[in-house]
Every structure is written in C-alpha cells, then in structure tokens.
C-alpha cells in the first residue's frame, strides 16, 4: 500500500450568521401583542372557522386569506396534545437539556403551539392543563412565553 493515500481532514470553524426577517403583518401583530400586552393571539378563518395559534395568513383546508381583522385572543390556558423529553444539548436549542417540548392547544384554538413545558419529573401527560409563564423582560419573540407549567387548580 502506498504512503501517498489521501486521508481526509477536518477544519474546525465556527460561523456566526446574524440575520433579521420581517414576520409580516400577522406575525408582527402576534409578537407585538405578546410583548406589549402578554396576550396570545390566534387567527380565525372567516370562511371555515378554523382558529390557528400561532396565526398564519392562509387557511390550509379552504385556502381563504386571513388578515389582521381576523385575529382573536386565545388561551392563555391550554391542553398538552403531545410531548417529548429532550435529553441532549443542541447548539440550536435555547436551553440546556434535559427539558420537555410540548404541543399545547390553547383554549379557543384548533392547532397546537410548540413550546417548553416545565413540571415535576413524571408529571407531564397528554391531556394535562397548562398555563404560560411569561418572561420578565419581553422582547417580541416566542420566548416571551418562557415556558408552560401545569395550570393551577
């Protein structure tokens, strides 16, 4: 065997990419309401009545276009639809493992919002009622809801 065999090598690099994007009228209103008033907004399709939280501009089933006038407050209480426990750290996760991600269907909504759920080990279950815990300093991001927790009472 030749000593001139190509051996791959790795270059350790770290790239930081700063970016901004426009969330659109619907997304902007969602984040402003969350930041300024601590209200979670959804959007109701005037054609079929489906309520989306988080809101979107187009209704999936009937393709009706929705606007700011179709926005409605949902929650703040909700129900865990499904969940997963994350046991490993990831560069893209905004918190250290272990943690629970849950899909929460907020009261008044037909869709579920993915978010963190904090509760005692083994307490999480589908169907459990939860409430949001808002961040002390809200900045206009989904993390203005710090996490959900089991609802009182």
DSSP 1-64: --TT-------------------HHHHHHHHHHHHHH--EEEEE-TTT--EESS--SB-TTT--
pLDDT one-digit tens code per residue, 81-110: 999 999 998 888 888 999 999 999 999 999
Could you report the per-residue pLDDT of 37-84, keeping only the tens digit for each?
Answer: 999 999 999 999 999 999 999 999 999 999 999 999 999 999 999 999
Q: Which helix H or strand E contains 117, and what residues bound it?
A: strand 113-117
pLDDT at 17: 76
Q: Does pLDDT of 136 surpass 80?
A: yes
């Amino acid at each position: 065997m030749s000593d001139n065999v190509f051996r791959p090598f790795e270059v350790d690099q770290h790239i930081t990419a700063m970016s901004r994007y426009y969330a659109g009228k619907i997304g902007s209103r969602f984040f402003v309401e969350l930041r300024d008033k601590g209200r979670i907004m959804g959007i109701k399709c005037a054609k079929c009545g489906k309520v989306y939280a988080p809101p979107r501009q187009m209704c999936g089933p009937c393709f009706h276009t929705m606007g700011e006038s179709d926005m409605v407050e949902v929650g703040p209480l909700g129900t865990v639809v499904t969940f997963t426990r994350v046991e490993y750290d990831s560069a893209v996760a905004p918190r250290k493992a272990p943690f629970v991600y849950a899909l929460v269907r907020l009261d008044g909504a037909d869709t579920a919002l993915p978010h963190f759920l904090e509760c005692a080990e083994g307490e999480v279950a589908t169907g459990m009622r939860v409430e949001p815990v808002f961040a002390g300093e809200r900045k206009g991001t989904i993390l203005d809801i710090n996490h959900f927790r089991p609802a009182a009472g």
